[in-house]
Amino acid sequence: MKAIKVGLLGLGTVGTGVVRIVEGHQEDLSSQVGSPIVIEKIAVKNISKSRSINVDKDKLTQDPWEVIRHPDIDVIVEVMGGVEETKPYLLEALERGKHIITANKDLMALYGSEILAKALEHQCDVFYEASVAGGIPIIRTLIEGFSSDRIMKIVGIVNGTTNYILTKMSQEGASYEDVLAEAQQLGYAEADPTSDVEGLDAARKMAILGTLGFRSNVELRDVSVRGISSVSKEDIAYAKQLGYEMKLLGIAERDGEEFSISVQPTMVKSSHPIASVNGVYNAVYVYGEAVGETMFYGAGAGELPTATSVVADLVAVIKNMKLGVNGVKAIAPYKPKKLKSDEQIFYKNFLLLQVDDKAGVLARITQIFAEYDVSLDSVIQTPNEQQPGAEIMIVTHSASKASLNKVINYFESLDVIRRIKSIYRVEG
């Protein structure tokens, strides 16, 4: 049996996991694909660096082009990260007829359509299961499992760092700053956590899921993004008081052919299954027109969970090679992009207002909501013990984003409202 030879770009956390699984599960993998799998060449930044696995030094190179242009390599596994510097490697690999497996969400969110078009042109596979939600097989599920259905809504906890922070804030009543510092010490958050806490990482993943779910070319700029850095422990306490948990959710939903995609801290009803997803775990809820509600849960990062998705893609590529069907499963977006306007985006909202504590204030506030066609689900007014005045918690019924923006603009000019302390979407 001729061995299938693999080139690996990157030997960090995920790359190490890929080597560990391919070498440790060789008998199982060979029985599935009918051939041994050999990692032939590995591009690394530093050949002499000490590593947690033993790798033949002759297989290491500091030149990625040596891997891409190696005549015996059939499949390129890219786990080095980067966008502009990595894209040329993958495009040339496809031009040379090599199949691609990548865990690079940034690259696929920005240039996925171009890479998939190149793959189609050269009849190559490009698989990227590990780019979203680590070990959860959500991409294959959207492409294959929902192939006969019409996806109407995708809701995801797709960033483990922010979910860890919000979980700790909820369970321990800790502040955002304290939990972030702890997450950095534990290695869950980067020294510069901006991409995670400001929602950019989740937005890239939702662009990928939206493209697959709606079969339209969703770009990063199409995703409305708000992070968790402004979420306070008081906000979470109020949410719990009302029966909600705070989660950073990616939400993609459509009506007809028009859709919207956002990432934002959201108050989720405690009875909803996604509200109980805690720590660094990820979950993706998918609503299909035919199947109804489904949810997928698992480890969203880490060496072996992510590497498992990479190697599963590798098995799929090799099976396609044996059948001679490479390049036929790539689903390039084929539907025109029709984004919803603010007038077409509807959801419930939570508002926390700091107001003057005097007669007529609440009546005036409810009147303004009515003027802009925003009906109210619940209103709770409490005295503020720290400051003069009162606090009003409001949960609206589903209202358009445009109407709520008009209400907020009006409130900002109203003397009796001292401060709009918080605004959050409400789900479930």
Catalytic residues: 205
Strands 376-383 and 390-396: antiparallel
Among residues 409, 265, 321, 293, the alpha carbon closest in space to that of 127 is found at: 321
Give the whole-angstrom CA distance, residue 183 versus residue 181: 5
Q: Which residues contact 418 (CB under 8 A, 6 or more apart)?
A: 354, 355, 356, 389
Identify the helix (H) or strand (E) that includes residue 127: strand 126-127
**155 and 284 in contact (C-beta within 8 Å)?**
yes
Mind giving me the DSSP string for 249-288? Answer: EEEEEEETTEEEEEEEEEEEETTSGGGG--TTEEEEEEEE
Exposure string for 260-294, b = 16+ CB within 10 A, e = fewer: bbbbbbbbbeeebebbebbebbbbbbbbbeeeeee
Give the whole-angstrom CA distance, residue 215 versus residue 113: 11
**Which strands form 75-78's sheet, in the order they lie side by side?**
60-61, 37-43, 4-9, 75-78, 99-102, 126-127
Exposure string for 351-388, b = 16+ CB within 10 A, e = fewer: bbbbbeeeeebbeebbeebeebebeeeeeeeeeeeeee
Residue whose structure tokens are 């098995």: 315
Chain centre to alpha carbon of residue 284:
9
Strands 4-9 and 37-43: parallel
**384 and 354 in contact (C-beta within 8 Å)?**
yes
Residues paired with residue 351 on neighbouring β-strands, in sequence order: 394, 423
Give the whole-angstrom CA distance, residue 296 versus residue 12: 27
Check residue 57 and report its DSSP letter. G
CA atoms within a 13 Å half-sphere pointing along the CA-CB vector of 316:
22
Among residues 285, 226, 258, the alpha carbon closest in space to that of 346 is found at: 258
